[in-house]
């Protein structure tokens, strides 16, 4: 990929992560004008943390540190992982797009795991920053609120219904809005940041929230 390419990937065979410079640019803003909360959400979670987690998703975990296809997990860990991921598959199977189309939770599992894991990794890192510790409001928003909104910023876009329908059937990624709402609904800090309560559309009971990494 060229430096200006807006993309990133994890290659399990080489045990490598490639992050072109273009993926870190927020269109319309200079780097120095963006606060840490937005950066950690926009780039830390959706890109860096996402690609790291791919090394431990349902496919990446099957490769060892040398890039060899080899199961290096203990049976107990593998069973716990499969139990948690099955719960995540069922969550996404229940998402409906365009009135009747369901997400294929199994086909999109790797990307869904990476989205959730990336958010959790970057959130842990953001909590070490001065901005988070000071807790000052910016435009009426707390650092934690800005973190989640920074992540959501990376998934803004428009698609025709026909394109969306095609991608639901063929893409290993969930639609952009579910790459936000899906993982958010499993993170306790999201509930605290926005005061999500039972009865709200994105509420999940504590026992139904998935935490894999």
Helix axes 143-153 and 176-184, enclosed angle (nearest 10): 150
The predicted pLDDT at position 166 comes to 97
pLDDT per residue as tens digits for the range 76-101 = 999 999 999 999 999 999 999 998 99
pLDDT per residue as tens digits for the range 104-160 = 999 999 999 999 999 999 999 999 999 999 999 999 999 999 999 999 999 999 999
The predicted pLDDT at position 66 comes to 93
Domains detected in the chain = 9-208 (3.40.390.10)
Q: How far apart are CA 150 and CA 87, in angstroms?
A: 27
Strand locations in 86-149 (E): 96-97, 101-102
Query: 35 burial class (0-12, 13-18, 19+ CB within 10 angstroms)?
Result: middle
Tell me the whole-structure pTM to 2 decimals.
0.95
The predicted pLDDT at position 32 comes to 92
**Among all residues, which ones are annotated catalytic?**
51, 115
The predicted pLDDT at position 68 comes to 96
pLDDT per residue as tens digits for the range 157-201 = 999 999 999 999 999 999 999 999 999 999 999 999 999 999 999
Strand partners, 97: 101
Query: 21 burial class (0-12, 13-18, 19+ CB within 10 angstroms)?
Result: exposed
């Amino acid at each position: 990929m060229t430096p200006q390419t807006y993309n990133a990937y994890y290659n399990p065979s080489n045990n490598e992560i490639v992050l072109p410079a273009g993926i870190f640019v927020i269109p319309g803003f200079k780097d120095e004008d963006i606060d840490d909360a937005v950066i950690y959400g926009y780039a830390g979670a959706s890109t860096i943390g996402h690609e790291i987690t791919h090394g431990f998703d349902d496919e990446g975990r099957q490769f060892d540190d040398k890039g060899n296809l080899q199961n290096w997990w203990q049976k107990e860990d593998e069973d716990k992982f499969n139990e948690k991921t099955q719960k995540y598959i069922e969550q996404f199977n229940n998402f409906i797009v365009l009135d009747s189309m369901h997400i294929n939770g199994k086909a999109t599992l790797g990307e869904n795991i990476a989205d959730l894991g990336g958010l959790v990794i970057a959130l842990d890192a953001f909590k070490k920053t001065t901005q988070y510790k000071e807790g000052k409001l910016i435009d009426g928003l707390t650092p934690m609120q800005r973190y989640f909104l920074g992540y959501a910023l990376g998934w803004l876009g428009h698609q025709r219904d026909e394109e969306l329908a095609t991608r639901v059937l063929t893409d290993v990624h969930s639609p952009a809005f579910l790459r936000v709402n899906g993982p958010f609904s499993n993170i306790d800090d999201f509930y605290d940041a926005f005061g999500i309560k039972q009865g709200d559309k994105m509420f999940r009971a504590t026992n139904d929230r998935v935490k894999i990494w």
